[in-house]
Amino acid sequence: QITLKESGPTLVKPTQTLTLTCTFSGFSLSTSGVGVGWIRQPPGKALEWLALIYWDDDKRYSPSLKSRLTITKDTSKNQVVLTMTNMDPVDTATYYCAHKGAGMEFFDYWGQGTLVTVSS
Amino acid sequence: DIQMTQSPSTLSASVGDRVTITCRASQSISSWLAWYQQKPGKAPKLLIYKASSLESGVPSRFSGSGSGTEFTLTISSLQPDDFATYYCQQYNSYWWTFGQGTKVEIK
């Protein structure tokens, strides 16, 4: 059974760096073709894909946020970490991590999401 | 960037209605399209992948079609559990993009 769970601060100040951790089970991020992505959703708005890391450490970023994002993985801990620099109130959103299967360019398992509020 | 445009943004329908949602890509994405259902306060749920493949466990009243730039999600007979927001998502060999969502409301 695949499960993912996001963790991190619920409140960050403007200009600070956000660090979120996705802890997963039921699959290995060393399996060929597998990836873990991050998607966010501001309150009442649409989903926005942010970043994805593949089993082989290949990393993809949203072009509009690339300069602010870093995604890393710790295969031994079954964790993926997303950092976003220079946080702004418009970054207030629920942040989800999700599993992407080998050869499957979609997200079939999602975490419950974590709401991050950016406010001074 | 590939833009995904869903229509309509909101749809009012009754139980038993046939419902169709359209998603258009700004350039061809072959069949690299997925559909998700999201209910308030919950994570999205995968319904359809590769434009027309039904995810395991999803009721057969959901179906997807299309290729290239135009895609549709059809609910053949709307059920009370189907009132939700639906998103399309594309993959273009480098990154992923979601549509802006279609909210299906009770008429």
pLDDT tens profile A64-85: 999 999 999 999 999 999 999 9
Return mean pLDDT, chain A: 97
Q: Is A49 in contact with B49 (Cβ distance < 8 A)?
A: no
Q: Is B100 in contact with A46 (Cβ distance < 8 A)?
A: yes
The predicted pLDDT at position B107 comes to 87
**Which pair of structure tokens corresponds to residue A45?**
């708005």
Return mean pLDDT, chain B: 96
**Which pair of structure tokens corresponds to residue B1?**
């960037």
Give the rounded distance of the alpha carbon of B78 from its chain centre.
14
Sign of dihedral through CA atoms B51, A33, A55, A76?
positive
Give how far B43 is from chain A: nearest CA, Å. 6
The predicted pLDDT at position A103 comes to 85
- Average of per-residue pLDDT across A25-29: 96
Q: Is B89 in contact with A47 (Cβ distance < 8 A)?
A: yes
For chain A, what is the total number of helices (H) and then of strands (E)? 0, 11
**Distance from C-alpha of A22 to C-alpha of B39, rounded to nearest angstrom:** 22
Q: Is B95 in contact with A113 (Cβ distance < 8 A)?
A: no
**Distance from C-alpha of A52 to C-alpha of A30, rounded to nearest angstrom:** 14
Binding-site residues on chain B for chain A (CB distance < 8 A) = 1, 32, 34, 36, 38, 43-46, 49-50, 55, 87, 89, 91, 94-101
What is the four-CA torsion angle of B54, B58, B64, B67, rounded to 10 degrees?
-40
The predicted pLDDT at position B18 comes to 97
The predicted pLDDT at position A73 comes to 97
Contacts of B45 in chain A (CB under 8 A): 110
Is residue A112's pLDDT more than 90? yes
Q: What residue ranges of chain B have pLDDT lower than 50? A: none
Q: What is the helix (H) or strand (E) element at residue A103, kind and residue range? A: none
Give how far A110 is from chain B: nearest CA, Å. 6
